[in-house]
Amino acid sequence: MAGKIGVYFDQQNIGGGLDAEALAQQVSQKWGDLTPVVKVVPVLAEAVDEITADIEGSALDGVLLCGSSPRAEAGLYRFPVQVEHVNLREQCVQAYRNPDKSPVDVSCAPELLTGMARDYVNMGVVKLQKSQVPDSAAVAGVARIMVLGGGWTGLAAAAEAAATGYEVVLVEKSDRLGGAANNIPMASPLASPWEEKQPSPLAGRISQVEGDSRITVHLNSRLEKLEGQPGEFTATVATPSGPQTCAVGAVVLATGWTPLDQKFLAPMGLGQNPAVVDAATFGKMLVAGQVSARRIAFVLDTTLAEDAARKAAAGAAESAEAASPAAGSGEEGEEKAFVKENLESIRHLAYSNAVNSVGMLRLANTVCEKTDDACQAFILYKDMTVPGILERFYKKMQDRLGVMMTKADVTAVREAGGHMVVECKNTLLGMDFDLEVDLVVLPTGLVPTTAKDVTVNFDYRQGPDFPDLELFDGFADSNYICFPYETRRTGVYAAGCVRQPLTMDACEEDARGAVLKAVQCIEAASRGMAVHPRSGDLSYPVFNFVRCTQCKRCTEECPFGALDDDEKGTPRPNPARCRRCGTCFGACPERVISFANYNIDQIGSMIREVQVPKDFKKDGPRVLILACENDAYPALDMAGERNRSWNPYCRIIPVRCLGSVNAIWVSDAMSKGFDGVMMLGCKYGDDYQCHFVKGSEICSRRKENIAETLNRLGVEAERVEQFEVAIDEYDKVPGMIDAFVDRIMAMGPNPFKGM
Ligand code: SF4
Ligand code: SF4
């Protein structure tokens, strides 16, 4: 708890809009001994030495910097005491708009900006006053990485991790290393100039891993149990010689993919005619020397089968609606499951299009080569998706003897006269044609192993598997947009096709990325820091167990499984698994969870620090905005930077995540006399962007309970609203705020105002 705070006003950044001297005077008068140093400095960035001297000279234990957003130049201000920023530039001066067109009497409008700044400064002082330096929650930081899966990605990860000096334990379930790459004798380009296929480097990579004394390989083995927390996991591996336990700091999940069950491709002959195979099967045939066909169609356009599956789905939905049967029962249920599976398969195949596009080029090239160019390969595509620099390989293949490729709508695949006929329309050749071939190769969908199996076997309260995998179509990666490799279990990083269908070169790059995350995680855990997304955060949730009622809400709602519990239901925290989102303290009805520098009392005190005028008609309403610091808060900053102003009756408090919003803050605001509360958080649902996966979704569920409580108290539930804001919606967010404030103004004052 800061007891001696230095307050500094940045004249350069706010002087044009605010009377910094008057604000400083207000701070001294109001806070007295708590703020022994209050200064207006010409340029804050040039006052670092002065502040450092004040910290020593006046024994300050907190510094409050009033100027630009904490997101701007924060790196400049690293002091040996707690530091807080008051955002007077972007979200006050730059965002201010004199609301003289407002329907309320705004005769005091010129004071609104000063009042807003005064509130923010006072909120900053109390925030610092209620903040403590977190204790250390450092763990051992075992310098050993477990790699699950000995395929191409797993081998690359093991080699990379060993090269960084870490010990590696590689666990492979089969009796040989290499995985699916064993069926790729000739690889697509893996290095510059990215034009030529190359002999697969798999054998060399296997020798490298097997010959590295830092890498222990377990074949015919699987991870039976992973317990503990990042930096000090205990892994139990079932090996042919019995279970073996070892300490590991982090895990790279590289268990790869399994082929999609592609029943829906039956209309194109798959599973019906031996002359129609998928790419994975064709690869194996090629390796085994079983390809005798001389005219081969590689078909990337499966619209024909997809349309049939979609038509069946629509038909099933119609008949279900007509009959209104109980969902999921009997034959009808089976049909629905079949249709659902087909639609999922279509999606998986679409995700795999880049891998199939490059794969078809590679297979066509290889088969021509293996037959001394006695073979003709026809590549028929609707979308040829060649990622990045592999475009060069595609261009090279366009000129390759024996390979013909064209965009085409494949309208039928049928057998005629002992051959297969592929009917092609709308081709780039300017005509429709029927292609007679010996073999048709269709694409293979890559399904992550996590969709089928429990791969890690966590000994966690929330169960052995990654949660909510359905949300991600079975892929283990939990945030493609901002944090690739992350899973919903801290310390376990996904790489390769278990994360996303990827080509071999991308898998190798992925392995490096995941290893880097694993190393960061071990290093951060050994320093007691969060690894992501709040990198470097030393705080962690602390529980007052005396008042815990064992309701289990925190242990159930933690998005990352950081909390175990005992037989009575008392939470058992694992700080190194924790992402510091605060969802647990948002959930806790007893409010017994807190962070040293972010807690219920602190935000509640900030809310109470706002001066809410009693005369709604004369002085306007007050609206509290709880803004997620990940997307909404930066969007507000960017809006301010662009002088996109918003209604000055609002007061903004950043929160770690909307999941951390505790209902008591809303009660605090309403009893203080605020007329409305806006919660600005990330998008959720299928297209979610929440940095903590489902904090904003959890908040929306809690909001329903808040609405019920407000209704019971006779307060309109519409006074509290949640809005979804993406980081790039800076143009939109001021309009959202203005519309909400207008709504509140139309509703009139909070009935509790002034009570
Ligand atoms: S802060 Fe977030 S990750 Fe940590 S225990 Fe609470 S809910 Fe879980
Ligand atoms: S939510 Fe609060 S009261 Fe409930 S188990 Fe967790 S700490 Fe205890």
Query: Residue 589 maps to which CATH number?
Result: 3.30.70.20
| 138 inside domain | no
Pocket test for ligand 2, best of 461, 546, 554, 594 (most atoms within 8 A of CB): 554
Q: Could you read off the pLDDT of 9-38 as tens digits, one per residue?
A: 999 999 888 999 999 999 999 999 999 999
Instruction: For residues 400 and 405, give the distance between their C-alpha atoms in angstroms, rounded to a whole number.
Output: 10
Assess whether 245 and 375 both reside in one domain.
no
Of the listed ranges 13-22, 61-70, 467-476, the least confidently predicted one is: 467-476
The best mutation among 534, 583, 694, 702 to test binding of ligand 1, ranked by most ligand atoms within 8 Å of the C-beta, falls on 583
**What pLDDT, on a 0 to 100 scale, did the predictor assign at position 708?**
86
Residue 533 lies in a domain: no
> How much distance in Å is there from the Cα of 689 to the middle of ligand 1?
18
Q: Are residues 106 and 248 in the same domain?
A: no
Atom of ligand 1 nearest to the CA of 577: 3
Cβ–ligand 1 distance for 596 under 6 Å, the answer no
Question: What is the structure's pLDDT at 328?
Answer: 47
Residue 730 lies in a domain: yes
- Are 311 and 255 in the same domain? no
Give the per-residue pLDDT at 101: 47
Distance 552 CA to ligand 2 centre (A): 6
- Fill in the amino acid letter for 641: E
**Pair 559, 509 in one domain:** no
* CA 195 – CA 440 distance, rounded (Å): 26
pLDDT band at 430 (very low <50, low <70, confident <90, very high): confident
pLDDT at 104: 39
Quote the ligand 2 centre to 592 CA distance (angstroms).
7
Position 107 scores a pLDDT of 39
* pLDDT over threshold 50, residue 162: yes
pLDDT at 351 over 50: yes
Cα dihedral sign for 746, 747, 748, 754? negative
pLDDT of residue 102: 44
**Which whole number is the average pLDDT over 532-547?**
93
**Nearest CA-CA partner of 511 in 157, 167, 155:** 157
Q: Which atom of ligand 1 is nearest to the CA of 557?
A: 7
CB atoms within 10 A of CB 608: 14
Question: By CB neighbour count within 10 A (0-12 exposed, 13-18 middle, 19+ buried), where does 220 fall?
Answer: middle
pLDDT top residue among 691 and 665: 665
Q: Which of 543, 545, 553 to mutate to test the pocket of ligand 2 (most atoms within 8 A of CB)?
A: 553
Residues of the chain above pLDDT 90, percent: 76
Question: What average pLDDT score do residues 379-406 get?
Answer: 94
Please tell me the predicted confidence (pLDDT) of residue 110. Answer: 58
Alpha carbon distances (Å) from 13 to 39, 43, 51, 78, 290: 14, 8, 17, 19, 74
Distance 701 CA to ligand 1 centre (A): 18
State the pLDDT at residue 461.
Answer: 96
State which H helix or E strand residue 438 sits in.
none
Q: Note whether 246 and 307 are same-domain residues.
A: no
Last-in-domain residue among 81, 112, 133: 133
Q: How far is the CA of 495 from the centre of ligand 1 (A)?
A: 24
Ranges 104-108, 311-315, 354-358: which has the least confidence: 104-108
Question: Where is pLDDT greater, at 479 or 413?
Answer: 413
CATH at residue 12: 3.40.50
Does residue 109 carry a pLDDT above 60? no
Q: Is the dihedral of CA 266, 271, 274, 277 positive or negative?
A: positive
For range 227-250, the mean pLDDT: 97
Per the listing, tokens 């629905």 go with 336
- Could you give the number of structural domains in the chain? 5
Q: Is the CB of 693 under 6 A from ligand 1?
A: no
Ligand 2 binding pocket includes 553 (Cβ within 6 Å)? yes
Is the CB of residue 361 below 6 angstroms from any atom belonging to ligand 2? no
Of 180, 158, 148, 182, residue with least CA distance to 257: 180
Reported confidence tier of residue 657, pLDDT bands at 50, 70, 90? very high
Residue nearest to atom 8 of ligand 1 (CA): 558
567, 594, 621 - which closes a domain: 594
Q: How far is the CA of 490 from the centre of ligand 2 (A)?
A: 22
How many other C-beta atoms are found inside a 10 Å radius of the C-beta of residue 742? Answer: 13
Task: Examine the domain organization and report whether 89 and 20 are in the same domain.
Answer: yes
Whether 454 is in a domain gets the answer yes
Q: Are residues 586 and 682 in the same domain?
A: no
Question: CB of 558 closer than 6 A to ligand 1?
Answer: yes
Residue 264 lies in a domain: no
Last residue of a domain, one of 470, 497, 526: 526
Residues 553 and 690 in one domain: no
Compute the distance from residue 491 Cα to the ligand 1 centre, in Å.
Answer: 14
Do 164 and 57 belong to one domain?
no
Which residue has the least CA distance to atom 7 on ligand 2? 548
Decide if 50 is inside a domain: yes
Which of the listed residues 548, 578, 690 should we mutate to test ligand 1's pocket, taking the one with most ligand atoms within 8 A of CB? Answer: 578
From 462, 552, 578, mutation site for ligand 2 pocket: most ligand atoms within 8 A of C-beta: 552
Same domain, 622 and 560: no
Q: Give the whole-number percent of the chain exceeding pLDDT 70.
A: 95
Q: Tell me if 309 CB under 6 Å of ligand 2.
A: no
Say what the pLDDT of residue 330 is: 55
pLDDT at 545: 95
Dump pLDDT digits (tens) for 589-648.
Answer: 999 999 999 999 999 999 999 999 999 988 899 999 999 999 999 999 999 999 888 999
Over residues 37-49, the pLDDT tens digits come to 999 999 999 999 9
Residues 658 and 725 in one domain: yes
Q: pLDDT at position 481, please?
A: 77
Domain assignment present for residue 536? The answer is no
Banded model confidence at residue 188, pLDDT cuts 50, 70, 90: confident
Phi and psi, residue 204, nearest 5°: -65, -40
Whether 143 is in the pocket of ligand 1, judged by its Cβ within 6 Å, is: no
Across the range 308-319, mean pLDDT stands at 78
Best mutation site among 543, 551, 558 for ligand 2 pocket (most ligand atoms within 8 Å of CB): 551
Residue 334 binned pLDDT confidence (cut-offs 50, 70, 90) = low
342 and 312 Cβ atoms separated by less than 8 Å: yes
Q: Identify the burial level of 289 via C-beta atoms within 10 angstroms of its C-beta, where 0-12 means exposed, 13-18 middle and 19 or more buried.
A: exposed
571 touches ligand 2 (CB under 6 Å):
yes
- Burial (CB < 10 A; 0-12, 13-18, 19+), residue 38, is buried
Q: Is 588 in the pocket of ligand 2 (CB under 6 A)?
A: yes
SS3 528: coil
| 202 within some domain | yes
pLDDT in tens, 561-594: 999 999 999 999 999 999 999 999 999 999 999 9
Q: Average of pLDDT values for 394-399?
A: 94
Is a pLDDT exceeding 70 seen at residue 100?
no
- Tally DSSP H helices, then E strands, for the chain: 20, 32
Return the ∠ at Cα 139 (arms to 136 and 142), rounded to 5°. Answer: 150
Q: Is 545 in the pocket of ligand 2 (CB under 6 A)?
A: no
In this structure, which ligand is nearest to the CA of 583?
A: 1
Both tokens of residue 320?
């279900």
Residue 125 banded pLDDT, cuts 50, 70, 90: very high
Whole-angstrom Cα distance, residue 280 to residue 263? 15
pLDDT in tens, 134-161: 998 999 999 999 999 999 999 999 999 9
Domain around 61: 1-133
| pLDDT for position 618 | 87
Please check the confidence at residue 735 and state whether its pLDDT lies above 50.
Answer: yes
Residues 6+ away with beta carbon under 8 Å from 214? 162, 165, 166, 167, 168
Question: Which CATH number belongs to the domain containing residue 501 in this structure?
Answer: 3.50.50.60
Q: Are residues 606 and 553 in the same domain?
A: no
Is the pLDDT confidence value at 69 over 60? yes
User: d(Cα 7, Cα 65) in Å, to the nearest integer?
Assistant: 6
- Is 592 a pocket residue for ligand 2 (Cβ < 6 Å)? yes
